[in-house]
Amino acid sequence: MTNISQVQGETLQIAHVTKRYGSGSTEVTAVRDVSLTVSPGEVVLIMGPSGSGKTTLLSMLGALLKPTEGAIQLNGTIISALAENRLPEIRLKQFGFIFQDFNLLSALTALENVAIVAELAGNKSGAARRKAASLLTELGLGERLNSLPEKLSGGEKQRVAIARALVNDPALILADEPTANLDSKIGHEIMRLLRNIAKEQGRSVVIVSHDQRIKDIADRVLWLEDGEFKETVTMAVDPVCGMSVEREKAISAEWKGQTFYFCARGCRDDFVNDPKKFHLLISQES
């Protein structure tokens, strides 16, 4: 893509974004000519080694950092060109952030942690608290509304963070290592949650993580190294056994004009023999 175009339905578009730090001999290029489009309801996973520029990229996506070159567009607004004083509103209403360290305000209860973000966006205290309460209850924290973060488990804290990220109905969720500080069972739950947010609520979800398991819920996996996307992997679900497979490496088959991907020959053969039997699974796709 060489132009920013108002593609219908696209949430996030970044075009040839570069970030350089320093100057002259100390100049460092953290992100180099990166382009990406994320659609509503899509889960994109960005992986890469430490120092690959993931943090920088995420910061720019979240309007915390301005790119040196290129443009970042969200729902039609070129946020990379906005003045600093317009950004807080964008951050409040268009993004939801989820952090590795949860980053809850230690002096506020779970309910207050979520409500405060709603209040910042202009909701009155009562309405903010109601919204927060319903979100938290949906996420299974109905009993923990008035608990302080120190009394919550890791998984509970991350769910509070997710509720906080959702309370202002953002178009884009940005998650930085959301499962890093959680044990595997809880990590799984959080991953499922993030996927549901994308699929059921139609939001775009961009996750930066080392965790391989997140591949299972991602639609696309991007590998960032030395500031550039080296590999793009698109995930698909095998309609026969339900496993996540990488399209680029998987065995495929066509049916009624659609391409399907399989984990192994066995599944592909099963499908080809009786496609209609697995069509329910097909409709679950995307």
Partner 1 sequence: MIRLAFRNLFQNKIRLVISVGGVALALLLILSLDAIFTGVERRVTAYIEHSGADIWVSQADVRNMHMASSSLPDSVARKVKYVPGVASVTPILYLTNNVVAGDERNLAYIIGLPENAEFGGPWSISSGQSLPAQGETILNRNIAVNSGIALGDEVEILGDEFKVTGFSEGTASLVNSVAFISMDDFEEMRGSYDTVSFLLVKVSDGESPEVVAARIKTQVRDVTAQTRTDFATQERQVIKDMSTDLITIMNLIGFLIGLAVMALTVYTSTLSRRREYGMLKALGARNTDLYLTVLAQAILSVVLGFLFGLVITLLLTVVIPIFGSNLLLVVSRVSLLKVGSVSLVIAAVSAMLPIRQIAGLDPVMVFRGR
Regarding 90 and contact with partner 1 (CB under 8 A), the answer is: yes
Residue 82 binds partner 1, judged by CB under 8 A? no
Q: Is 76 in the site for partner 1 (CB under 8 A)?
A: no
Q: How many CB atoms lie within 10 A of CB 276?
A: 8
Which long-range contacts (C-beta less than 8 Å, at least 24 apart) are formed by 161-164? 161/98, 161/99, 161/102, 161/103, 161/104, 162/96, 162/98, 162/190, 162/193, 162/194, 162/197, 163/114, 163/132, 163/135, 163/136, 163/139, 164/96, 164/104, 164/113, 164/114, 164/117
Other Cβ atoms within 10 Å of 43 Cβ, number:
25
The reply to whether 91 sits near partner 1 by the rule CB under 8 A is: yes
Nearer CB in complex with partner 1: 112/238? 112
Question: What whole-number distance in Å separates Cα of residue 235 and Cα of residue 221?
Answer: 7
Which residue among 49, 76, 88, 242 contacts partner 1 (CB under 8 A)? 88
User: Applying CB under 8 A, which of residues 65, 166, 217, 267 lies at the interface with partner 1?
Assistant: 65
* Residue of 14, 116, 182, 191 that binds partner 1 (CB under 8 A): 116
234 binds partner 1 (CB under 8 A): no
Nearest-angstrom CA–CA distance, 237 and 143: 36
64 touching partner 1, by CB under 8 A:
yes
Q: Does 171 bind partner 1 (CB under 8 A)?
A: no
SS3 259: strand
Q: Does position 22 bind partner 1 by CB under 8 A?
A: no
Chain residues binding partner 1 by CB under 8 A are 55, 58-59, 62, 64-65, 85, 87-93, 95, 97, 99-100, 103, 105-108, 112, 116-117, 119-121, 164, 176-177
